[in-house]
Amino acid sequence: MEYRIIAPPLVLTPYVQYFWSLESNGDPQRNVAFTTVADGSPGLIFQQIDGVQAQQGERNLPTAYIYGQSVKPTQIAMSARFRTVGIFFFPNALQAIFGLDAHELTDGCVDLCLLDSFKGKALVECLLNTGRMDARVALLGDYLYECVLRNQAKQDAEAVYAMKQIQRADGLLSLRELRGDLRISERGIERKFQQAVGIAPKLFSRICQFQSALEHIRTGRFDSLTEVAFAHGYADQSHFIRTFRAFTDLSPKQYRKTLIETLPNFPQRIG
C-alpha cells in the first residue's frame, strides 16, 4: 500500500489538519479489513474500489462520506484494490465548516450526496472522473472552502478554547479548573462541547490521553507497559490496558502483533 500526506491550502488550515491518500493494487477478489480507532477528530473519505464495496458491519459505505467522532472500534472491509483520499479535520470542523451539530454524527457517517444533494453529487462525479490524486485533493479543497463561505458557521469560542487546552495537555487537564477559567457550568460546557466536537469533554480527554500513549507505543521506545501507563497519567498498567481495549477492542500487545498501521488510527488486520 502507498500512503501519502498532503498539506491543506492556507485558507483551510483552521479546519483541516491534512489530506491523505491510500492506494492498494491488491487482488480485487480478495478483501482486506481495517479497524477504526478513536482519534478525537472527524473526517471525510472518498473511495474508488474495484470489486466488493466497502462495508462497515452490515452497512455499505457510500463513495464519499463525512464521518464524526469514532469512539467505538468498528471493522471496515473492502476489496484489496482501491484508491482512497481522505481529510483529517480538526475536532470542531463539522460545526465550523458544515454548520452541523457534531453529536449527530458521533460513531456514524453521512453520504455526501445526501448531506449536500446538488453540490455533493457534482463533486463525487468529478472525483470519479479524475484519476490524478492531486486533482482530487484540489477538488475537495475547493468544495470545503465553498462550504465555509456558504455556511458562515459560527464557531463556539468557549468550546474551541476548551478543546485546544485539553489537546495541549494530552487529556491530563482538570476539567473543573477549565470550567473555572471559562466561568461556565459543567452542564453548559458539556452542551457546547457536544455540539462543536461531538462528545463530552471528559471522553475527549480520555481519547487525547489514549492517543498520547498510543503514539508512545508506536515509537517502540519503552521497556514495559507500566512505563507507558505512568508516563501518560494512568493509575497503573491495568487501567491503561482497560482503556486501550475500550478504544481498540485489543490489548496493546495484540494491537502490535495483529495490525499493520500504514494509515494512523486506521490499521489493517493481518493473518
Q: Where in the chain are the domains? A: 2-151, 157-259
Beta-carbon contacts of residue 97 (< 8 Å; ≥ 6 apart): 15, 89, 144, 147, 148, 151, 153
For 124, phi and psi rounded to 5 degrees? Answer: -60, -40
Name the grid cell of 80: 484489496
Tell me whether the CATH fold assigned to 2-151 matches the one assigned to 157-259. no
Cα distances (Å, whole numbers) of residue 183 to 109, 164, 188, 192: 34, 17, 10, 13
Name the grid cell of 28: 480485487
Question: Are residues 24 and 82 in contact, defined by beta-carbon separation less than 8 angstroms?
Answer: yes
Digits of tens for pLDDT over the chain (271 positions)?
899 999 999 999 999 999 999 998 988 888 888 999 999 999 999 998 876 678 898 889 999 999 999 999 999 998 889 999 999 999 999 999 999 999 999 999 999 999 988 899 999 999 999 888 899 999 999 999 999 998 877 789 999 999 999 999 999 999 999 999 999 999 999 999 999 999 999 999 999 999 999 999 999 899 999 999 999 999 999 999 999 999 999 999 999 888 898 889 999 887 6
CA distance 228 to 230: 6
201 forms beta bridges with none
Question: Are residues 175 and 80 in contact, defined by beta-carbon separation less than 8 angstroms?
Answer: no
CA distance 62 to 96: 23
| Stated pTM of the model | 0.94
Name the grid cell of 105: 454524527
- Superfamily designation of domain 157-259: Homeodomain-like (1.10.10.60)
Secondary structure element (H or E) that encloses residue 79, with its range: strand 75-79
pLDDT at 271: 60
Helix axes 201-219, 157-168, angle to 10 degrees: 30
C-alpha radius of gyration, the chain, whole number: 19
Neighbours of 81 (CB within 10 A): 19
Q: What is the distance of C-alpha 86 from the center of its chain? A: 10
CATH number of 2-151: 2.60.120
**What is the sign, positive or negative, of the torsion defined by CA atoms of 28, 29, 30, 33?**
positive
Where would I find the H helices in the chain? 93-98, 112-115, 117-128, 133-151, 157-168, 175-182, 186-196, 201-219, 225-231, 237-248, 252-258
In terms of Cα–Cα distance, which of 184, 186, 201 is closest to 102? 201
